[in-house]
């Protein structure tokens, strides 16, 4: 019976790569001594970049606000150490293009002095809106990698009356173990954070989904969640991409999120375990998000493991601390399936960085792509039920609209298709290219519409100005004429009087 149950329960989608999580996951958490200089990027989240509110030369304390949120969707940035602002300029972004973005440079004074915090002893007495406000002010964003501002998600969950909070402890990407580590070492923080989030969104229950390849984390979380019956620990089968919200929701609740819809619309909201721990710190301790756990792993790392590091630390400094076996052949921010390739190590750590992978030559090897043999492996692996084979063929031929017809917009770029492809075709790159091109097209369309409106507004303005000028000229002429008529009338009126006076005299 067990076998049959297992056969039916095991998801049919996805892949099962070697997880490479141990020994890094089992190594105890280490603290990185804060470096002498840190670079705090202004754009570490989805939405608008933060607006700097500090000046060069200014002294700041740890946790002090450096840049404020700007726009509807944005998050503030805080100082990860105490020290002096030495520059506000460009640094290389953790992005495949290697382009730069704005960052605030802080010279560490090694005093480690925190700004005065405002802890809350009983968050459940606070209004849900107040929890969202405090979380937003603390700069908490989704730490699983999506970096969506958490407070905005709270408001969404509250508005759509979400009944279930799903706490994502899937961490399905190979090599990474930062979520595993936070569940093992700080299970109480995660559970407390999850309960605060439940209060903020008005959820009745929380389901913590943890892949069954992390038995230590499951045990630790079960102990921490024991006093709270509304928080349920649910081990899920280890299968990539279980940590993707749509797949985790389906596995835990049986509900499928429709295309072009958000998870909240099926009555659930997903938050990562690390985000929950950050919410706990933001509310209970009043501490903004300035530090996180990062996995350092890969064949080129001498002592793989998890580090507790201040944000804004350079990747090179992390690698110096853990040691290199060889010069890394490739650096990746995030996991090997969906992570971002880094061109060099002089890139600061951002809020969404769950891991830094330094691969040796053998791990970094990319086999040459061959022609598609139409085996259909990618179709079987796709967790979204798409046809990668057809989408890639259309994109290769330059027919982007054809690819959209095969629901390119539902692709989550998880990389399962490219992983199983026997011809090693870079399928995800095709999809990323097409999504980028389509977005560029969409932006151009919006732009030309805006241009047209501007041009029409100008024509209207020029016409109005000519009209107004003509009207003003006519008015002035009328005034002049009136004045002339008045003086003439006055002259007429005065003459007879003198005549009369003359006559009297």
Instruction: Judge whether 309 and 316 are in contact, CB under 8 Å.
Output: no
Q: What is the Cα–Cα distance from 153 to 200, expressed in whole angstroms?
A: 10
Among the residue ranges 29-37, 136-144, 261-269, 449-457, the one whose residues contact another protein (CB under 8 A): 449-457
In total, the chain counts a number of residues equal to: 505
- Minimum gap (Å) between residue 78 Cβ and another protein: 22
Figure out which of the listed residues 46, 87, 160, 369 binds another protein, where binding follows CB under 8 A. 369
Instruction: Judge whether 84 and 58 are in contact, CB under 8 Å.
Output: yes
CA 333 to chain centre: 14
- Minimum gap (Å) between residue 375 Cβ and another protein: 17
Among the residue ranges 228-236, 305-313, 346-354, 424-432, the one whose residues contact another protein (CB under 8 A): 424-432
C-beta of 216 vs 463, nearer to another protein: 463
- Minimum gap (Å) between residue 147 Cβ and another protein: 13
- Minimum gap (Å) between residue 394 Cβ and another protein: 12
Among candidate residues 353, 281, 312, 291, the one with its CA nearest the CA of residue 134:
281
Element spanning 469, H or E: helix 427-504
C-beta of 13 vs 430, nearer to another protein: 430
Interacting residues with another protein between 461 and 480 (CB under 8 A): 461
Q: For 396-478, where are the E strands, in sequence order?
A: none
Q: What angle do CA 378, 384, 385 make, to 5 degrees?
A: 60
Q: What is the Cα–Cα distance from 467 to 462, expressed in whole angstroms?
A: 9
Q: What is the DSSP letter of 283?
A: I
Instruction: Judge whether 38 and 82 are in contact, CB under 8 Å.
Output: no
C-beta of 71 vs 215, nearer to another protein: 71
Q: Compute how many other C-beta atoms are within 10 angstroms of the C-beta atom of residue 207.
A: 23
C-beta of 191 vs 411, nearer to another protein: 411
- Minimum gap (Å) between residue 452 Cβ and another protein: 4
- Minimum gap (Å) between residue 340 Cβ and another protein: 11
C-beta of 184 vs 330, nearer to another protein: 330
- Minimum gap (Å) between residue 313 Cβ and another protein: 21
Q: What angle do CA 303, 335, 378 make, to 5 degrees?
A: 140
- Minimum gap (Å) between residue 165 Cβ and another protein: 31
- Minimum gap (Å) between residue 308 Cβ and another protein: 28
Would you count residue 454 as binding another protein (CB under 8 A)? yes
Print the binding letters for residues 374-413 with another protein: x by CB under 8 A, - otherwise: ---------------------xx-----------------
Print the binding letters for residues 59-98 with another protein: x by CB under 8 A, - otherwise: ----------------------------------x-xxx-
- Minimum gap (Å) between residue 440 Cβ and another protein: 6
Figure out which of the listed residues 303, 451, 487, 494 binds another protein, where binding follows CB under 8 A. 451
Residues 6 or more apart whose Cβ sits within 8 Å of residue 124: 195, 196, 199
Q: Is the dihedral of CA 208, 212, 214, 215 positive or negative?
A: positive
Q: What is the DSSP letter of 343?
A: S
Element spanning 332, H or E: strand 330-333
Beta-strand pair 83-92/59-60:
antiparallel
Would you count residue 371 as binding another protein (CB under 8 A)? yes
Figure out which of the listed residues 73, 326, 365, 457 binds another protein, where binding follows CB under 8 A. 457
Interacting residues with another protein between 228 and 247 (CB under 8 A): none
Figure out which of the listed residues 161, 409, 440, 466 binds another protein, where binding follows CB under 8 A. 440
Figure out which of the listed residues 204, 344, 452, 469 binds another protein, where binding follows CB under 8 A. 452
Total of chain residues touching another protein, rule CB under 8 A: 32
C-beta of 201 vs 414, nearer to another protein: 414
- Minimum gap (Å) between residue 429 Cβ and another protein: 5
Residues 6 or more apart whose Cβ sits within 8 Å of residue 286: 117, 118, 119, 120, 134, 138
C-beta of 23 vs 436, nearer to another protein: 436
Residues 6 or more apart whose Cβ sits within 8 Å of residue 109: 59, 81, 82, 83, 84
Among candidate residues 168, 144, 140, 143, the one with its CA nearest the CA of residue 154:
140
Would you count residue 101 as binding another protein (CB under 8 A)? yes
Instruction: Judge whether 165 and 203 are in contact, CB under 8 Å.
Output: yes
Q: Coil, strand, or helix at residue 91?
A: strand
Figure out which of the listed residues 127, 459, 483, 489 binds another protein, where binding follows CB under 8 A. 459
Interacting residues with another protein between 39 and 58 (CB under 8 A): 43
Beta partners for residue 206, in sequence order: 165, 231
Beta partners for residue 104, in sequence order: 40, 88
Please give the residue ranges that form the binding site for another protein (CB under 8 A): 43, 93, 95-97, 99, 101, 368-369, 371, 395-396, 425-426, 429-430, 432-433, 436-437, 439-440, 448, 450-452, 454-455, 457-459, 461
């Amino acid at each position: 019976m067990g076998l049959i149950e297992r056969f039916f329960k095991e998801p049919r989608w996805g892949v099962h790569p070697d997880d490479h999580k141990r020994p890094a996951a089992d190594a105890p958490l280490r603290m990185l001594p804060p470096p002498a200089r840190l670079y705090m990027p202004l754009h570490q989240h989805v939405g608008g970049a933060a607006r700097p509110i500090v000046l060069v030369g200014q002294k700041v304390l740890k946790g002090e606000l450096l840049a404020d949120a700007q726009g509807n969707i944005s998050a503030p940035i805080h100082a990860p150490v105490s020290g002096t602002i030495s520059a506000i300029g460009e640094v290389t972004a953790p992005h495949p293009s290697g382009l730069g973005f704005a960052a605030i440079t802080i010279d560490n004074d090694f005093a480690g002095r925190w700004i005065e915090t405002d802890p809350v002893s009983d968050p459940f007495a606070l209004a849900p809106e107040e929890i969202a406000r405090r979380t937003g002010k603390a700069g908490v964003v989704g730490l699983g990698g999506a970096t969506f501002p958490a407070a905005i998600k709270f408001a969404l969950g509250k508005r759509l009356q979400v009944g279930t909070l799903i706490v994502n402890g899937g961490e399905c990407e190979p090599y990474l173990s930062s979520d595993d580590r936070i569940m093992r070492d700080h299970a109480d923080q995660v559970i407390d954070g999850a309960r605060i989030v439940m209060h903020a969104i008005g959820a009745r229950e929380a389901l913590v989904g943890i892949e069954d390849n992390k038995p230590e984390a499951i045990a630790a979380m079960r102990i921490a969640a024991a006093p709270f019956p509304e928080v349920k620990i649910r081990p899920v089968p280890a299968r990539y991409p279980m940590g993707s919200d749509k797949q985790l929701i389906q596995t835990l609740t049986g509900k499928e999120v429709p295309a072009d819809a958000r998870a909240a619309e099926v009555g659930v909201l997903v938050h990562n375990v690390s985000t929950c721990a950050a919410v706990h710190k933001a509310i209970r301790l009043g501490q903004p998000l300035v530090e996180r756990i990062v996995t350092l792993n890969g064949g080129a790392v001498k002592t793989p493991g998890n580090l507790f590091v201040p944000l804004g630390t350079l990747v090179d400094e992390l690698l110096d601390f853990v040691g290199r076996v060889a010069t890394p052949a490739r650096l990746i921010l995030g996991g090997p399936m969906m992570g971002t390739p880094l061109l060099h190590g002089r890139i600061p750590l951002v809020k969404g960085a769950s891991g830094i992978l330094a691969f040796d030559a053998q791990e970094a090897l990319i086999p040459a792509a061959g022609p598609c043999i139409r085996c259909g492996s990618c179709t079987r692996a796709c967790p979204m039920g798409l046809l990668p084979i057809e989408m890639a063929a259309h994109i290769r031929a330059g027919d982007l609209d054809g690819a959209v017809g095969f629901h390119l917009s539902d692709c989550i770029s998880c990389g399962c298709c490219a992983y199983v492809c026997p011809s090693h075709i870079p399928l995800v790159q095709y999809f990323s290219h097409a999504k980028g091109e389509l977005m560029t097209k969409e932006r151009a369309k919006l732009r030309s519409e805006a241009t047209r409106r501007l041009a029409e507004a100008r024509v209207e303005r020029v016409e109005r100005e000519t009209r107004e000028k003509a009207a003003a000229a006519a008015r002035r002429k009328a005034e002049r004429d009136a004045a002339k008529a008045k003086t003439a009338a006055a002259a007429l009126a005065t003459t007879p009087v003198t005549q009369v006076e003359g006559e009297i005299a």
